[in-house]
Structure 1
Amino acid sequence: MSESLIRSDIDLEVDGKQTGYLRLPHSVHRSANGQILIPAVMVRSGNGPTALLIAGNHGDEYEAQIALSKLCREVDKGDIRGRLIILTMANFPAAQAGTRTSPIDDGNLNRTFPGDPLGTPTQMIAHYIEEVLLPKCDYFFDFHSGGSSLYYPPTLLRGMGNSAHEREELIKLQDAFDAPYAWVFTSGGGRETKARTAMGGAGRKGVITLMAELGGGGTVSKEILALTERGIRRMLHSIGMLPGYEADAMNGTRELTITDSVIAYDNGLFEPFYDVEDVVKKGDSAGQIHFPEEPWREPKVLDFQHGGMVLCKRVPGRVERGDCLFQVGSDL
């Protein structure tokens, strides 16, 4: 595969704290020799693992962009053992616009891996992460939220692990992040070789990987932001990268696997009957879609096909055919 055209201001092999940009060439009408500047930070000191942390994989997901920006400012060479690489706005055009996909090429970065070094900007970013950064890493943490359309309570996402060692590492990191919930992939996940996600890319490179869904709805929650900042530091401490950090007591994590998704089959306004973290039973009515352009028409009632806990809920009231309205998780 061709070499990436992206060039970095940062020398990943040199100790110290470095800040700069990944420079993606982007020639347009207003800037013939322009560049897309993707902010990057590296802190390296002594012997230890390499961890890549990214936010802004989707541009309308905000808690982790803030949490990682704080980490970039607060952590210095003396705090770290190993090499910490941070991308606060991985798909920079999308993050700058506050949209899930890039306004330049409509690219969804988390559906674009392994990317293309000579492709669109989003494809080039995916390729750089998978082929340049991930091969240097022992750990990869990809932080998301529900974006503008969905809302999740703080939830860690992980695979089952392909070996006893990997499973132990994933559980250790899950305990360290200490989110209220964990969505555990019972198949695929981090080792699914055909997955077009960042987690799939890490799996192809043999990197231990976790993802998180942290709120959403296009907002920033004070409580979820605090939990995110705490969880990131606790995870880095658990792998020996923040030796001076003093971890507090665990709260505990409930492990779930997704068993149901409620999908809209009509266009209209959705009236939900449940909220996130509510317990539902098979056959319960999830909500109904109203048709105000035909107010005499009866609403369409949608049912849950499995019982469990509501882990995800759509935020906007207007829905279109194919929209996800709820996800339901059952205890693992």
Structure 2
Amino acid sequence: METPVQTNIDYEKEGKQISYLRVPHSRNNSAWGKVLLPIVMIKNGRGPTALLVGGSHGGEYEGPVCLLKLARELEPEQVQGRIIILPALNLPAVTAGQRVSPLDGRDMNRSFPGRPNGTITQIIAHYVNAIILPLCDAVLDLHSGGYSLDLYPYISMHYLDNAEQMAATRAALEAFQAPVGLIMEEFTGEGLLDYAVEQMGKVFLCAEIGGNGRLTPSTLKLAEIGTRNFLKHFNIMQGDIVTCKARNLPPMRLMETPDTENYHYVLADGIYEPFFELGNTVLKDQPLGQVHFAHHPKQEPQIINALTSGILIGTRGPGFVEVGDCVALIAHDLKQASEPS
């Protein structure tokens, strides 16, 4: 497969390899320059292949830190099969602390399947789509709410038409053991890594853990336990699944966001005042929050009402909002998830 990306990683070699994907980036001060994306591969014998991804966006720190630690800690004798780790898929965005790449202004998770002769983000996406994904059985993509959102920790999957793929993905979702397991309808359009993996018939999970552009001990721990649970589920790592119960947490709550009414947007610029904490129950037509207008003391705030009943699992991070910003995500209970045996 033609690609301008170079690497000395041998995807069939046994053992542990730590290297880079070398992506061409010619610019004024570096004619032959490259962006070096870290990649770690650990292979031991026969078994499934899992791809672990962090840093698709900058400002989402649980994924990169979790995967950097895992890459240092894991040795081949702890693995049965193959693990490919990309801890900072969009490294320019990660180092800039921005959602999109400062090099081309593109969102990595809206750029798949990519282009081998496109911008730098498109070239990276194309390499992952054309070279790495065909090797994989399952993909775990670690995210958070970044700067603009604060999220109740959840592990998510899409509704899938293929019943066998749906069942396999749901089993992996329940094994991750986040506080919430979310089955969702996607409304963001084309270009997601999710779609690229799903169209190949493989298992894809996306973790959304925390937000507000920060990293906390609790969210990092959740990412670390969930990632190892994911690998244990596929027998790539040995050991028991660490359940929510084993961590003195309530059982994982299986939920869904089936339509656009689960998402709530503001219609004015101003300061958003939320009325609920993450995890609170809200009722349809109940006020979720209000937008204040700093320049107009006499003007009444604009109320944002809930379009549906459920649990608040996402809210706005920064206080200032602009027209079209998402300020609330409400999920419905699907059923109580069982603890893995």
The TM-score, its normalising length taken from structure 2, stands at 0.92
- Distance of aligned partners of 1:322 and 1:188 in 2 relative to their CA distance in 1, 3 Å threshold: closer
Aligned to 2:201: 206
Q: Which of 271, 283, 291 is residue 293 of structure 2 equivalent to? A: 291
Q: Which of 265, 268, 277 is residue 266 of structure 1 equivalent to? A: 268
Aligned to 1:224: 219
Aligned to 2:81: 82
Matches within 5 A, 1:87-236: 87-185=86-184, 187=185, 195-236=190-231
Aligned to 1:58: 57
Letter in 1 for 2:295: E
How many angstroms does 1:183 deviate by? Answer: 1.5
3-state SS, counterpart of residue 58 of structure 1: coil
Contact 2:173-2:181 within 8 A present in 1 as well: yes
Report how many residues are paired: 326
Instruction: State whether structure 2 residue 17 is matched by structure 1 residue 23.
Output: no
State the identity as a percent: 37
Contact 1:39-1:89 within 8 A present in 2 as well: yes
Distance 1:83 1:247 in 2: 19
How many angstroms does 1:206 deviate by? Answer: 1.9
Contact 1:152-1:313 within 8 A present in 2 as well: yes
How many angstroms does 1:163 deviate by? Answer: 3.7
Letter in 2 for 1:302: I
How many angstroms does 1:327 deviate by? Answer: 0.7
Contact 1:195-1:201 within 8 A present in 2 as well: no
Contact 2:165-2:202 within 8 A present in 1 as well: no
Runs of 4+ with >4 A deviation: none
3-state SS, counterpart of residue 30 of structure 1: coil
Letter in 2 for 1:115: G
Aligned to 1:327: 329
How many angstroms does 1:153 deviate by? Answer: 1.5
Distance 1:248 1:272 in 2: 34
Instruction: State whether structure 2 residue 241 is matched by structure 1 residue 247.
Output: yes
How many angstroms does 1:8 deviate by? Answer: 1.4
Contact 1:288-1:300 within 8 A present in 2 as well: yes
How many angstroms does 1:174 deviate by? Answer: 1.6
Q: Deviations over 1:81-104 (max 9, x none)?
A: 111000000011001111100011
Q: Give the RMSD, CA atoms, in angstroms.
A: 1.6
Q: Deviations over 1:59-107 (max 9, x none)?
A: 1100111111110000011111111000000011001111100011111
How many angstroms does 1:164 deviate by? Answer: 4.0
Matches within 5 A, 1:36-75: 36-75=35-74
Q: Deviations over 1:146-204 (max 9, x none)?
A: 0101011210111244444323322321222100101202x569xx9x73101011012
Contact 2:165-2:201 within 8 A present in 1 as well: no
Instruction: State whether structure 2 residue 279 is matched by structure 1 residue 277.
Output: yes
Contact 2:149-2:317 within 8 A present in 1 as well: yes
Distance 1:146 1:23 in 2: 28
Contact 2:156-2:181 within 8 A present in 1 as well: yes
Distance 1:152 1:249 in 2: 21
How many angstroms does 1:266 deviate by? Answer: 0.5
Contact 2:116-2:126 within 8 A present in 1 as well: yes
Letter in 2 for 1:110: N
Letter in 2 for 1:291: F
Between 166-175 and 56-65, report the one with greater CA deviation.
166-175
3-state SS, counterpart of residue 314 of structure 2: strand
The TM-score, its normalising length taken from structure 1, stands at 0.94
How many angstroms does 1:249 deviate by? Answer: 4.0
- Distance of aligned partners of 1:148 and 1:249 in 2 relative to their CA distance in 1, 3 Å threshold: closer
Letter in 2 for 1:247: I
Contact 1:281-1:306 within 8 A present in 2 as well: yes
How many angstroms does 1:237 deviate by? Answer: 0.9
Unpaired stretches in structure 2, ≥5 consecutive residues: 246-250, 335-341
Contact 1:161-1:170 within 8 A present in 2 as well: no
Distance 1:172 1:79 in 2: 23
Distance 2:167 2:302 in 1: 46
